[in-house]
């Protein structure tokens, strides 16, 4: 099969076919892209069956997909294949049970921005809604407000808005399924491959690895299309996807 | 050797940040080398009022804790080359810096610039203590409201107890027509209670809201009456003798004509 994300129709309706050999976070991104491209075909509030081939998605991933599809205006009817084990445990409990490893990397002073993630931080008020996904990503299902800072050693996904004055820092990618107005710093320990994605990218400042981009001065029209920031040829580039 | 001036009030929302931004910008417009320092850690605003939010990389906590050099933490203003901002941290709280650290920052800045304007947080707790730690002079901002004046009085006492006697008063958001009708405390009423030197009176002005939202200090707006009042304050800080401006709103043609016939 060619695409990692595709649609199929059956008697129950539309099925979202996923190729789970793709890394989960890139898959999420492709889903967003696919659904955005197919928005006229899908319409609003479509109920989808999520089919993940032979691979059984774990509870955290199911949750992430559910919230992801909801944030795009759709509902999940069912997951295929169905849950394989531990059907009694609620998905939420299951997903939080996997704690991440805190890397105790000494903060070298060389990179001017590196000290920003000397330790992982999730504000106490957000720990209830923070879920560690199986492949080392952290998903937060709430708006991140001014003064709240989330620092994570891995990929960070926020299902909600990130307001001005809030700060997201991650060694991996940062995905915001909502409006990003605060500061996001992806690849904070020097990973230039890291990206920042937001369904509405309105940050005053973005950082990837040791590069900083700031919004132009003066009033800017609000951006409402999904955009992705990454480093291309040593320049921080923001593009529509 | 520079001078550290802290802008404080006790009560919140009386215009400390606006006053700090305008005095700092006004001094820079007069050719002085100025650093604006926001000590309201966790509730920073000075960067927004100055329109410099998108430039923040380091903040006062980074400087205090040695994560960056002082120079790196000084954000250059977009209007004046010799105006700088040291922003507060937003994701920390007031205990993130100590009085000694602020004192050290102020001492270092004094070697470099003419004026350091410190924007103090509301309240009398740690944030206030940090803000006044390195100060040589204090400006107390208040509004013509009983609650604000009461807090200002408390602050003046605390400043004196901390070796900052003779603070100067900025009376903000005065509405002359209300004062005339006896619905608002007058400048004299307030001076009688507080008994400190008056630095300036700022009329209530809608332009402040507009300029604050735009990140452009009012002091640069030649049309704004509040801007004029701030320009006068700046001149007084620089030692000029400027009389208080007439707060009465510009009268219409007929009112002027009437006045003319009355002979005054």
Contact A115 B42 (CB under 8 A): no
What is the nearest CA distance from A146 to chain B, expressed in angstroms? 7
User: How many whole angstroms from its chain centre is CA A218?
Assistant: 29
The whole-number pLDDT of residue B35 equals 98
Do A227 and A172 fall within a single domain? yes
Do A75 and A120 fall within a single domain? no
What is the nearest CA distance from A14 to chain B, expressed in angstroms? 43
Most confident of A20-34, A42-56, A63-77: A42-56
pLDDT band at A222 (very low <50, low <70, confident <90, very high): confident
d(CA B116, CA B132): 12
Do A118 and A59 fall within a single domain? no
d(CA B101, CA B164): 19
Yes or no: say if B24 and B74 are a contact pair by the CB < 8 Å rule.
Answer: no
Contacts of A86 (CB under 8 A, 6+ apart): A94
Do A141 and A191 fall within a single domain? yes
Q: Nearest Cβ partner of B78 from A183, A217, A219?
A: A217
Residue span of the structural domain in which A229 resides: 109-240
The whole-number pLDDT of residue A86 equals 39
Do A76 and A139 fall within a single domain? no
d(CA B146, CA B212): 25
Evaluate whether residue A146 is within a structural domain: yes
3-state secondary structure of A196: strand
The whole-number pLDDT of residue A221 equals 82
Contact A115 B56 (CB under 8 A): no
Residue A153 DSSP code:
S
Evaluate whether residue A196 is within a structural domain: yes
Yes or no: say if B86 and B76 are a contact pair by the CB < 8 Å rule.
Answer: no
A189-205 pLDDT per residue, tens? 999 999 998 888 999 99
d(CA B199, CA B238): 12
B197 against A40, higher pLDDT = B197
For chain B, the domain total comes to 1
Evaluate whether residue A14 is within a structural domain: yes
What is the nearest CA distance from B107 to chain A, expressed in angstroms? 25
Most confident of A39-48, A84-93, A223-232, B159-168: B159-168
Evaluate whether residue A90 is within a structural domain: no
Do A236 and A131 fall within a single domain? yes
Above 70 in pLDDT, residue A99?
no
The whole-number pLDDT of residue B32 equals 97
Residue B57 to residues A13, B72, B130: CA-CA distances in angstroms?
49, 9, 22
For chain A, the domain total comes to 2
The whole-number pLDDT of residue A164 equals 94
For residue A182, what is the domain's CATH number?
Answer: 2.160.20.70
pTM flag (> 0.95): no
Do A72 and A134 fall within a single domain? no
d(CA B86, CA A33): 40
The whole-number pLDDT of residue A66 equals 75
The whole-number pLDDT of residue B129 equals 97
* Contact residues of B toward A, CB < 8 A: 42-44, 51, 53-57, 62, 67-68, 72, 78, 90-91, 214
Residue A234 DSSP code:
T
Question: Scanning every residue of chain A, which has its alpha carbon at the shortest distance from the alpha carbon of B51?
Answer: A217
Evaluate whether residue A213 is within a structural domain: yes
* Contact residues of A toward B, CB < 8 A: 112-113, 115, 146-149, 164-167, 183, 204-205, 212, 214-215, 217, 219
Contacts of A214 in chain B (CB under 8 A): 54-55
pLDDT band at A59 (very low <50, low <70, confident <90, very high): low
ipTM value > 0.95: no
Do A113 and A199 fall within a single domain? yes
Evaluate whether residue A157 is within a structural domain: yes
B109-149 pLDDT per residue, tens? 999 999 999 999 999 999 999 999 999 999 999 999 999 99
Residue span of the structural domain in which B124 resides: 3-262
Do A54 and A138 fall within a single domain? no
Evaluate whether residue A173 is within a structural domain: yes
Q: Which of A39-48, B3-12, B24-33 has the lowest mean pLDDT?
A: A39-48
For residue B90, what is the domain's CATH number?
Answer: 3.40.50.300
What is the nearest CA distance from B233 to chain A, expressed in angstroms? 28
Concatenated DSSP letters for B44-83?
--HHHHTT-GGG-S--HHHHHTTSS-TTTT-EEPSS-TTE
Pick the last residue of a domain from A80, A95, A118: A80
Most confident of A89-103, A206-220, B25-39: B25-39
Averaged over A217-232, what is the pLDDT? 84
Evaluate whether residue A91 is within a structural domain: no
Contact A146 B54 (CB under 8 A): no
Alpha helices in chain B (DSSP H): 16-29, 46-49, 60-64, 99-112, 126-133, 146-161, 176-180, 187-194, 206-214, 225-237, 253-262
The whole-number pLDDT of residue B259 equals 66
Residue A43 DSSP code:
-
Contact B91 A167 (CB under 8 A): yes
Averaged over B71-91, what is the pLDDT? 96
Do A114 and A72 fall within a single domain? no
What is the DSSP pairing of strand A235-240 with strand B3-8? unpaired
């Amino acid at each position: 099969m060619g695409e990692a994300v595709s649609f199929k129709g059956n008697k129950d309706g539309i099925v979202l076919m996923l190729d789970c050999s793709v890394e989960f976070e890139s898959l999420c991104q492709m889903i967003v892209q696919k659904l955005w491209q197919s928005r006229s075909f899908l319409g609003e509030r479509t109920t989808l069956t999520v089919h993940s081939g032979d691979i059984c998605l774990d509870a955290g991933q199911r949750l992430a997909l559910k919230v992801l599809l909801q944030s795009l205006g759709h509902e999940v009817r069912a997951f295929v294949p169905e849950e394989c084990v531990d059907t009694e445990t609620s998905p939420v409990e299951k997903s939080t049970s996997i704690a991440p490893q805190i890397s105790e990397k000494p903060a070298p002073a060389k990179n001017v921005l590196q000290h920003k993630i000397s330790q992982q931080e999730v504000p106490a008020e957000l720990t209830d809604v923070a879920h560690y996904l199986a492949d080392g990503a952290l998903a937060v299902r709430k708006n991140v407000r001014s003064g709240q800072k989330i620092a994570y050693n891995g990929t960070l996904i926020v299902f909600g808005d990130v307001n001005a004055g809030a700060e997201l820092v991650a060694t991996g990618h940062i995905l915001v399924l909502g409006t990003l107005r605060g500061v996001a710093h992806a690849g904070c320990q020097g990973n230039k491959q890291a990206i920042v994605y937001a369904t509405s990218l309105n940050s005053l400042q973005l950082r990837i690895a040791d590069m900083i981009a700031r919004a132009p001065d003066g009033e800017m029209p609000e951006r409402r299309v999904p955009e992705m920031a990454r480093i291309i040829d040593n320049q921080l580039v923001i593009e529509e996807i | 050797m520079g001078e550290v001036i802290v802008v404080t009030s006790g009560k919140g929302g009386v215009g400390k940040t606006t006053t700090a931004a305008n005095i700092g910008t006004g001094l820079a417009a007069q050719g002085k080398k100025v650093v604006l320092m926001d000590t309201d850690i966790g509730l920073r605003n000075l960067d927004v009022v100055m329109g410099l939010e998108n430039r923040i990389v380091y903040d006062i906590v980074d400087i205090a804790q040695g994560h960056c050099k002082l120079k790196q933490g000084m954000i250059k203003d977009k209007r004046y080359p010799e105006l700088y901002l040291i922003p507060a941290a937003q994701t920390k709280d007031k205990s993130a810096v100590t009085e000694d650290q602020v004192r050290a920052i102020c001492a270092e800045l004094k070697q470099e610039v003419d004026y350091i304007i410190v924007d103090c947080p509301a309240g009398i707790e740690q944030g206030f203590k940090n803000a006044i730690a390195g100060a040589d002079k204090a400006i107390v901002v208040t509004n013509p409201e009983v609650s604000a004046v009461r807090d200002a009085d408390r602050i003046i006492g605390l400043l004196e107890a901390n070796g900052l006697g003779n603070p100067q008063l900025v009376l903000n958001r005065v509405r002359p027509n209300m004062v005339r009708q006896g619905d608002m405390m007058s400048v004299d009423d307030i001076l009688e209670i507080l008994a400190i030197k008056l630095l300036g009176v700022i009329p209530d002005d809608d332009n402040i809201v507009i300029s604050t939202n735009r990140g452009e200090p009012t002091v640069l707006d030649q049309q704004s009456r509040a801007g004029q009042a701030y320009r006068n304050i700046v001149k007084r800080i620089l030692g000029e003798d400027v009389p208080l401006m007439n707060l009465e709103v510009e009268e219409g043609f007929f009112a002027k004509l009437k006045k003319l016939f009355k002979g005054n």
